[in-house]
């Protein structure tokens, strides 16, 4: 008997369009981890399962330390693998191992007590000057080596999120977080002077000024929550000041970038945050701050949408986003310099007009953005009035990010000048006035 199987897709038809490759289309120069076949199955190569010096299972983070060594967070095997130098050949076995007694072992914390060199789903990795930081996510801590390890089983020098190396409780066993606790920290990032941690389970990002030197040291700044003791999803309201699941961080073209995976977006800060809960003033992946659906609510991805972006990195002047659930890497190039200069000139002229009117009138009650980009583009509004705080003009980034067809105030409550966005339909008004003329 012959059985025919028909597969039916409910997905809408997809119009395929050619696009520039984000990476070299020839593929990676070197592949690490190997792809052995699953025992007993003659099929195409599968993901590495059995731990060895040359296999990986769900690796989530990698970094190159100042001494030229490569470190990979082999998350599924609960270990770190280290290579003395960047491998030049496929399948090169690791030289060093941290988190397991030998290369053939696996298991959370090596099936033993938590200690200074054990791991439970290590994820983020970053070089910190001469040192190394690892987000040991399911131990709810970050491990720091002041000098990058140069041997296997080398214990960390400092731990964040816990009071000591033998503790591993969510928020140290408390019902609420504080400045010294962590809950599933998935990302770590060193900007050259400060350590940033994506405290994913607490839906926030923490910053330490300088490299922490003592166990359990509290953070100095928090983004995503109004203070250190809250962990509400999106801080209670979806906007550009909160997160659902922050995962990765970097700086690109002077902007702080944070991958907010749960909201399917990347948030950007053009200025260095100096206060807790500072809202972002840039957004990638969504049309506005209130939309959080994957792929902007569509089945297929586009060049401007994400589905669970878990990773960020920068190479030269380009931002790369690991758009995980879309199984792709997306690249953003730096803005064209001529276009950026033209925009700055545009802002400068608007500020000049505001200043001239201010000087002529002696007092300004309100500024209104209407029609075109003034009505539609939050970044232009922010850029046009940036630096005018001395004139009593202050824009609220959260209010400014809202898209609406209603007239609305986007200035802060403390702003001496009220800033409005007033939707208009100039074409309709022109048509009405024209009708009046021809029918008079």
Q: What is the pLDDT of residue 329?
A: 95
Q: What is the pLDDT of residue 183?
A: 98
> Are 278 and 344 in a shared domain?
no
> Are 164 and 218 in a shared domain?
yes
User: Helix (H) and strand (E) counts for the chain?
Assistant: 5, 22
Six-digit token pair at 309?
Answer: 């972006």
Q: Which H/E stretch holds residue 397?
A: helix 397-401
Locate all alpha helices (DSSP H) within 228-371, ordered by sequence: 337-361
Q: Answer with the one of 333, 354, 389 that is the final residue of a domain.
A: 333
Q: What is the pLDDT of residue 37?
A: 44
- pLDDT (tens digit, 9 = 90+) per residue, 102-130? 999 999 999 999 999 999 999 999 999 99
Q: Is residue 38 part of a domain?
A: no
User: Is the separation of the CB atoms in 348 and 340 below 8 Å?
Assistant: no
Q: How many residues does the chain have?
A: 440
Q: What is the pLDDT of residue 427?
A: 83
362: left (phi over 0), alpha (psi -120 to 50) or beta: left
- How confident is the prediction for the chain on average, in pLDDT? 90
Mean pLDDT, residues 10-28 = 67
> Are 128 and 178 in a shared domain?
yes
Angle at the Cα of 182 (from 178 to 184), degrees rounded to 5? 145
Q: What is the pLDDT of residue 43?
A: 46
- How far is Cα 80 from Cα 83, in angstroms, rounded to an integer? 10
HSE (CB half, 13 Å, CA atoms) of 345? 6
Using DSSP's 3-state secondary structure scheme, residue 374 falls into helix
List phi, psi (to 5°) of 250. -165, 175
> Are 107 and 122 in a shared domain?
yes
- How far is Cα 428 from Cα 312, in angstroms, rounded to an integer? 45
> Are 195 and 292 in a shared domain?
yes
- How far is Cα 107 from Cα 47, in angstroms, rounded to an integer? 18
Question: First-to-last CA distance in the chain?
Answer: 84
- Of 59, 99, 211, 210, whose CA–CA distance to 147 is shortest? 211
User: Is the separation of the CB atoms in 234 and 191 below 8 Å?
Assistant: no
Q: Is residue 143 part of a domain?
A: yes
Handedness of CA 149, 154, 158, 161 (dihedral sign): positive
> Are 310 and 348 in a shared domain?
no
List phi, psi (to 5°) of 297. 85, 5
Contacts of 16 (CB under 8 A, 6+ apart): none
Mean pLDDT, residues 417-436 = 88
Q: Answer with the one of 274, 306, 333 that is the final residue of a domain.
A: 333
User: What is the arrangement of strands in the sheet containing 131-136, beginning at the earlier edge strand?
Assistant: 122-128, 131-136, 141-145, 158-160
- pLDDT (tens digit, 9 = 90+) per residue, 327-376? 999 999 987 777 778 888 888 888 888 888 888 888 889 999 987 888 88
Q: What is the pLDDT of residue 341?
A: 83
Locate all alpha helices (DSSP H) within 40-116, ordered by sequence: none
- How far is Cα 154 from Cα 113, in angstroms, rounded to an integer? 16
Angle separating helix axes 337-361 and 378-385, nearest 10 degrees: 60
Q: What is the pLDDT of residue 6?
A: 46
> Are 351 and 313 in a shared domain?
no
Highest mean pLDDT among 42-51, 152-161, 271-280, 421-430 belongs to 152-161
> Are 133 and 75 in a shared domain?
yes
Q: Is residue 380 part of a domain?
A: yes
User: What is the arrangement of strands in the sheet containing 246-252, beginning at the earlier edge strand?
Assistant: 246-252, 255-260, 265-269, 282-284
Highest mean pLDDT among 230-239, 349-358, 393-402 belongs to 230-239
Q: Is residue 206 part of a domain?
A: yes
Count of CB atoms situated within 10 Å of the CB of 149:
21
Contacts of 327 (CB under 8 A, 6+ apart): none
Mean pLDDT, residues 5-22 = 56
> Are 159 and 181 in a shared domain?
yes
The percent of residues above 70 in pLDDT, for the chain, comes to 92
Q: What is the pLDDT of residue 19?
A: 61
- How far is Cα 381 from Cα 337, in angstroms, rounded to an integer? 20
Using DSSP's 3-state secondary structure scheme, residue 17 falls into coil
- pLDDT (tens digit, 9 = 90+) per residue, 272-309? 999 999 999 889 999 888 889 999 999 999 999 999 99
- Quick one: pLDDT band at residue 2, thresholds 50, 70, 90? low
> Are 282 and 324 in a shared domain?
yes
Q: Is residue 240 part of a domain?
A: yes
Q: Is residue 15 part of a domain?
A: no
In Å, how far from its chain's centre is CA 368? Answer: 33
Number of domains in the chain: 2
- Of 316, 312, 56, 329, whose CA–CA distance to 188 is shortest? 312
Mean pLDDT, residues 305-327 = 95
> Are 198 and 309 in a shared domain?
yes
Q: Is residue 35 part of a domain?
A: no
Q: What is the pLDDT of residue 55?
A: 94
> Per 3-state DSSP, what percentage of the chain is helix, strand, and coil (rounded to 5)?
20, 25, 55
Task: Tell me: pLDDT of 215 over 70.
Answer: yes
> Are 148 and 233 in a shared domain?
yes
Contacts of 374 (CB under 8 A, 6+ apart): 380, 381, 421
Q: Is residue 37 part of a domain?
A: no
- Of 434, 137, 400, 440, whose CA–CA distance to 289 is shortest? 400
* Residue range of the domain that includes 119: 61-333
Q: Answer with the one of 299, 333, 367 that is the final residue of a domain.
A: 333
Locate all alpha helices (DSSP H) within 362-385, ordered by sequence: 372-376, 378-385
Which of 62-71, 91-100, 297-306, 431-440 has the lowest average pLDDT?
A: 431-440
Q: What is the pLDDT of residue 12?
A: 57
- How far is Cα 368 from Cα 419, in angstroms, rounded to an integer? 6
CATH value at residue 325: 2.120.10.30
CATH value at residue 421: 3.30.420.40
């Amino acid at each position: 008997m012959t059985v025919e199987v028909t597969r039916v897709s409910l997905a809408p038809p997809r119009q395929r369009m050619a696009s520039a490759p984000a990476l070299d289309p020839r593929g990676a120069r070197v592949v690490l981890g190997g792809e052995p076949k699953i025992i007993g199955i003659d099929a195409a190569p599968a993901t590495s399962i059995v731990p060895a010096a040359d296999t990986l299972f769900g690796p989530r983070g990698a970094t190159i330390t100042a001494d030229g060594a490569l470190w990979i967070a082999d998350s599924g095997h609960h270990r770190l693998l280290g290579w003395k130098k960047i491998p030049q050949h496929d399948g090169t076995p690791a030289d060093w191992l941290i988190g397991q007694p030998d290369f053939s072992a696996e298991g959370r914390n090596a099936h033993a007590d938590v200690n200074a060199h054990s791991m439970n789903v290590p994820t983020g990795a970053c070089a910190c000057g001469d040192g190394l930081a690892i987000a040991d996510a399911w131990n709810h801590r970050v491990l720091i080596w002041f000098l990058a390890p140069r041997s296997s089983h080398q214990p960390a020098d400092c731990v964040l999120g816990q009071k000591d190396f033998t503790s591993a409780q969510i928020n140290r066993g408390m019902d609420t977080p504080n400045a010294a606790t962590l809950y599933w920290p998935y990302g770590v990032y060193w900007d050259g002077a400060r350590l940033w941690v994506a405290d994913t389970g607490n839906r926030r990002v923490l910053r330490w000024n300088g490299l922490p030197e003592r166990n359990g040291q509290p953070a100095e700044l928090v983004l995503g929550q109004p203070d250190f003791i809250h962990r509400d999803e999106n801080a209670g309201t979806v906007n550009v000041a909160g997160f659902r699941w922050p995962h990765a961080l970097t700086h690109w073209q002077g902007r702080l970038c944070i991958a907010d995976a749960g909201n399917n977006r990347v948030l950007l800060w053009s200025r260095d945050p100096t206060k807790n809960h500072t809202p972002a003033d840039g957004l990638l992946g969504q049309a506005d701050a209130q939309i959080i659906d994957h792929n902007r609510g569509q089945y297929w991805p586009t060049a401007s949408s994400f589905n669970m972006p878990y990773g960020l990195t920068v190479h030269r002047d380009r931002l790369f986003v690991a758009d995980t659930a879309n199984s792709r890497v997306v690249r953003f190039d730096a803005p064209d310099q001529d276009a950026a200069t033209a925009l700055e000139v545009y802002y400068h002229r608007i500020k000049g007009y505001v200043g001239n009117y201010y000087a002529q009138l002696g007092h300004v009650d309100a500024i209104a953005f209407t029609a075109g980009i003034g009505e539609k583009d939050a970044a232009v509004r922010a850029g046009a009035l940036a630096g005018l705080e001395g004139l009593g003009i202050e824009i609220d980034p959260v209010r400014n990010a809202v898209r609406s067809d209603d007239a609305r105030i986007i200035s802060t409550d403390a702003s001496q000048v009220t800033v409005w966005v007033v939707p208009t339909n100039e074409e309709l008004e022109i048509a009405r006035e024209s009708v009046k003329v021809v029918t008079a």
